Amino acid sequence: MEFRAEEVLEKIKKKELATVRRNPHTVPYLAINGVYEDLSGERIGWWTNGFWGGILWQMYHLTKEDCFKTAAEELEKKMDAALHNARCMDHDSGFRWLPTAVANWRLTGNPESYNRGTIAADNLAGRFNLNGSFIRAWNDENGVNRAGWAIIDCMMNLPLLYWASEVQKDPRYKAVAMKHADMAMKNFIRQDGSSNHILCFDPENGELLQALGGQGYKEGSAWTRGQGWALYGFTLSYLHTKEARYLETAKKVADYFVSKIPESGLIPVDFDQPENVDFEDSTAAAIAACGLIELGKICREDAESTADGRKYMDAALQILSALDEKRADYDEARDGILSHCSAQYHAEDHNLWFVYADYYYIEAVMKLTGDELFIW
Ligand code: GLY
């Protein structure tokens, strides 16, 4: 499989340098016609706002260019408005503060960043429902009580809890993360290795009431970004705990994902979408590539799993080659790299440019070149 990671990283580096110089104060979410939309201000609580920080810290780690650090520090401070607002605080604290405050702390030891990461972890742990052993996902919206809702995406927020336990030498956070991971393993992951998106529990007695199709095609289908969150999330839970059951689950999810990758290497929005629908999601592709590379590395270190390791790594390279050749825009005059991102199956537009697709694409490429700053 031909994927020249060093050459791709060189193009990314040039593009991100031009992008940050054009956007030193922007909090990007979508790139619209090559221009980043700015979510500073009222939309500072949006769940994706940490990913630009992740790009900036990865690029700072790689280049030591001050413009990346300055922009990342400004973003982190802006996000304090979300950290201090209960309405903004949901389960996505890992997505928001691991690539920003915790990344800053890892690189610079900044005590204010450590403080932010700790507040975010405390809040995330506080969302744990003891009756059902799950972390509550979202807050109520439009009059819908979502006290009993858990979503597979949360597997990617658990590393904030593993981090808090490690740095504080306090097992509470890790215990919450593992209770949630065990619940997800039991309830979200289906027999064939695919994952549900949303599960609704009775928040009083923990009874599982209903599975919802969520952002996928329909109930019971396999929304690919959710499969990516599960694949990478269980791999990370294994990396942080070394519990074999999480590795087995990650492999089960990965085997399902790999078996569904189309010949083109381009990932649909839902593996069960109708055959005549060509919706794609580059975010799912990039997230899965990260998980497959990490899983591949784990398996290759174990003599009995080398063949699996090769399979996962080849699948990651197939996905990344397809993104590089068909979906990446390295034009330095335009913001955003990956096209064909989709928020959900039932959306009007499926050709969007999301900052978090770029984040995971960059992370995957940097895993291959050995330049990655470990975020999760
Ligand atoms: N975590 C929300 C999403 O993946 O769209």
* Residue 364 maps to a domain: yes
Average pLDDT for residues 100-123, to the nearest whole number?
Answer: 98
pLDDT tens, 23-80? 999 999 999 999 999 999 999 999 999 999 999 999 999 999 999 999 999 999 999 9
CB atoms within 10 A of CB 208: 16
Q: Tell me the CA–centroid distance for residue 47 and ligand 1, in Å.
A: 8
Position 81 in a domain: yes
Q: How is the chain split among helix, strand and coil, in percent rounded to 5?
A: 55, 10, 35
> Does residue 261 lie within any of the structural domains?
yes
pLDDT at 110 over 80: yes
Residue 283 CA, closest ligand 1 atom number: 4
Atom nearest to 156 CA in ligand 1 = 1
Q: Which atom of ligand 1 is nearest to the CA of 229?
A: 4
Residue 358 has pLDDT above 70, yes or no: yes
pLDDT digits (tens, 9 = 90+) for 286-295: 999 999 999 9
Range of the domain at 41: 5-369
* Residue matched to tokens 């390295």: 330
pLDDT of 97 over the 70 cut: yes
170 carries an active-site annotation: no
In a domain, 335, yes or no: yes
Cβ-based burial of 241 (10 A; exposed 0-12, middle 13-18, buried ≥19) = middle
Q: Tokens for 57? A: 């810290």
Asked whether residue 212 is assigned to any structural domain, the reply reads: yes
* CB of 45 closer than 8 Å to CB of 27: no
pLDDT of residue 2: 82
CATH code: domain of residue 296: 1.50.10.10
Mean pLDDT, residues 262-286 taken together = 98
pLDDT of residue 1: 61
Choose which residue among 47, 270, 344 to substitute to test ligand 1 binding: the one with the highest number of ligand atoms within 8 A of its C-beta. 47
With b for 16 or more beta-carbon neighbours within 10 A and e for fewer, the 87-126 pattern comes to ebbbbbbbbbbbbbbbbbbbeeeeeebbebbbbbbebbbe
Instruction: Give the number of domains in the chain.
Output: 1
Interval between CA 333 and ligand 1 midpoint (Å)? 28
Of residues 343, 311, 361, 262, the one with CA closest to residue 51: 361
Helix count and strand count (H, E) for the chain: 14, 7
Residues in contact with ligand 1 (CB, 6 Å cut-off): 47, 153, 215, 225
Give distance in angstroms: CA of 224 to centre of ligand 1.
11
Section 216-230 average pLDDT: 98
Residue 376 located in a structural domain:
no
Residue 339 lies in a domain: yes
H or E segment and range at residue 210: strand 208-212
Provide the pLDDT for residue 303.
Answer: 82
Residue count of the chain: 376
Ligand 1 atom 2 nearest Cα: 153
**Across the chain, what does the average pLDDT equal?**
97
> Which pair of structure tokens corresponds to residue 232?
């990478």
Q: Is 153 a catalytic residue?
A: yes
Q: Is the pLDDT of residue 207 over 90?
A: yes
- Percentage of the chain modeled with pLDDT above 70: 100
Supply the residue whose CA is at minimum distance from atom 5 of ligand 1. 343
Q: How far is the CA of 153 from the centre of ligand 1 (A)?
A: 6
Ligand 1 atom showing the smallest separation from residue 225 Cα: 4
Question: Considering 90, 92, 270, 358, which one is annotated as catalytic?
Answer: 92
Look at residue 375 and tell me if it is in a domain. Answer: no
* CA–centroid distance, residue 66 to ligand 1 (Å): 31
Model confidence pLDDT, tens digit, residues 139-167:
999 999 999 999 999 999 999 999 999 99
From 93, 212, 229, mutation site for ligand 1 pocket: most ligand atoms within 8 A of C-beta? 229
The two most distant CA atoms of the chain are separated, in Å, by 55
